[in-house]
Amino acid sequence: MKCRARAHANIALIKYWGKRDARLNLPAVGSISLTLSTLRSETEIVFSDEIEQDVLFLNGQKAKPKEVARVSSFLDLIRDRAKIKQKARINSFNNFPTAAGLASSASGFAALTLAATRALRLNLSARELSVLARRGSGSAARSIFGGFVEMHKGVSDDGSDAFAEQLFPPDYWDIRLLIGITSEQPKKVGSTDGMTLSKETSPYYRNWIETQEYDLQQMREAIKTKDFPKLGELSEHSCLKMHAVALSGNPGIIYWNAVTVEAMHAVRELRRTGVPAFFTIDAGPQIKVLCLPEDEQKTRDCLLSVPGIERVIVNRPGPDAQILEEDN
C-alpha cells in the first residue's frame, strides 16, 4: 500500500486567520488563494504491518516528535475511514524552505491527503479530499486545486461544508507572484498558535471576521473581471488587516523582519512609478509580490535591490494536486 503524490503551495489573496472550531479545524472566515507553479511538496507514503510506529522524514531528515504527532493524528482520520490499523512511513520533500511562512503545511498536507487516501484505495472526490486536507491544515484544503481557489468557511458543526473549490483554472489568467526570501529560519509562532492568540486577545478580531465577506465578494469580482489593480489592492489590504489582528493580540505577534518592511516600502515605491505591483505576507517574514507578466523583470529587480533579499522565486498560477506513482 504505497503512493506518491505532489501538491503545490498556495498563497491567500484574501487571508484565512482564525478558527470557529479548533478541534475540527474549521475556519472562522472564508479565503481566496492562488495556487503556485513553482513551490511544491512531494510525498510518498507506505502503510505496512511491518512498521511499528509512524515515521516521518522531511527533506530526508527525521522529523521532530511534534511534527510526527501532528501527521500521525491526521493519518488516524484516514486509517479510521479505511478501517485499517497499519502504521506508515512518510517521506516528504519541499522544494523551498520549510515552515518559514511559505505555505509548507498547505502543500505538505494536500500531498499527504492525496497520497494516503490513494494508497488505502479510498476513492474520494476532490471536495472530499479538500475537507480531509483541512483537518491537517486549513490552507491545505485549497492546495488540492490549481489556479484561483476559494475556501468556504461553512456553517455546519461537522465541517462537511468547509471545503475549497476552484474558481478558475491556472490558464484562466496569467499573473505572477514573486517571492522575496528574507530569511530561511523557521518562524517562531506558527499559524495555529497565532490564530488562537488573535481570537483570544485581539480587540480587532471581531471586526476582522465581520469585514471578511465583503473582501471575498470584491475579490471574486476582481478575478472574474480580470481587474488586476483591484486584485492587488484587495490582497494588500487583506494582508495588512490580518497582520493588524496578529499585532494587536497580547503579546502581539510581529511576523515581519526589517527586510520585510523595507521590501513593503520598495513595492509601494515601484507602484508610484506606474508599475501595478502589490505585496502580501503570511505568518512569516517572506514578501510575496503580485504583478503582471510584462512587469516581472522590473518587480524582480525591485525586490533584489532591497538589501537582505538574496533570492526571488517566480510563480505563475499552478496546477491541481496529482498522483505521481502508485502500486497496483
Residues touching ligand DP6: how many (CB under 6 A)? Answer: 14
Q: Which three cell numbers stand for residue 170?
A: 491556472
Using the minimum distance from each CB to ligand DP6, give the nearer residue, 138 or 319: 138
State the amino acid at position 132 in one-letter form: L
Nearest to 108 by CA among 324, 321, 281: 321
Distance of CA 1 to the CA centre of its chain: 28
Q: 313 - beta bridge partners?
A: 179
Q: Of these, 1, 3, 9, 25, which contacts ligand DP6 (CB under 6 A)?
A: 25
Binding part of the chain for ligand DP6, among 13-21, 38-46, 59-67, 270-278 by CB under 6 A, reads 13-21
Cβ contacts of residue 125 below 8 Å, gap of 6+? none
Pairing of strands 55-58, 87-94: parallel
Using the minimum distance from each CB to ligand DP6, give the nearer residue, 33 or 299: 33
Pairing of strands 278-280, 287-291: antiparallel
Using the minimum distance from each CB to ligand DP6, give the nearer residue, 74 or 228: 74
Closest approach, Cβ 292 to ligand DP6, in A, equals 23
CB 70 within 8 A of CB 135: no
Using the minimum distance from each CB to ligand DP6, give the nearer residue, 29 or 46: 29
Closest approach, Cβ 137 to ligand DP6, in A, equals 3
State the amino acid at position 65 in one-letter form: P
Residue 48's alpha-carbon distances to 20, 86, 138, 160, in angstroms, are 36, 5, 28, 30
The SS3 call for residue 197 is helix
Calpha distance 104→17 (Å, rounded): 16
Using the minimum distance from each CB to ligand DP6, give the nearer residue, 6 or 15: 15
Whole-angstrom distance between the N-terminal and C-terminal Cα of the chain?
A: 9
Applying CB under 6 A, does 191 fall inside the site for ligand DP6? yes
Binding map of ligand DP6 across residues 115-154, x = CB under 6 A, - = no contact = ----------------------xxx---------------
Applying CB under 6 A, does 235 fall inside the site for ligand DP6? no
Closest approach, Cβ 8 to ligand DP6, in A, equals 13
Applying CB under 6 A, does 36 fall inside the site for ligand DP6? no
Q: Of these, 4, 6, 15, 241, which contacts ligand DP6 (CB under 6 A)?
A: 15
Applying CB under 6 A, does 86 fall inside the site for ligand DP6? no
Question: DSSP assignment of 237-256, as one string?
Answer: HHHHHHHHHHHTSSSPP---
Using the minimum distance from each CB to ligand DP6, give the nearer residue, 88 or 239: 239
Sites for ligand DP6 among residues 100-119 (CB under 6 A):
105
Nearest to 177 by CA among 300, 57, 275: 300
Using the minimum distance from each CB to ligand DP6, give the nearer residue, 191 or 235: 191
Q: What does the binding site for ligand DP6 look like in residue numbers (CB under 6 A)? A: 12, 15-17, 25, 31, 105, 137-139, 191-192, 282-283
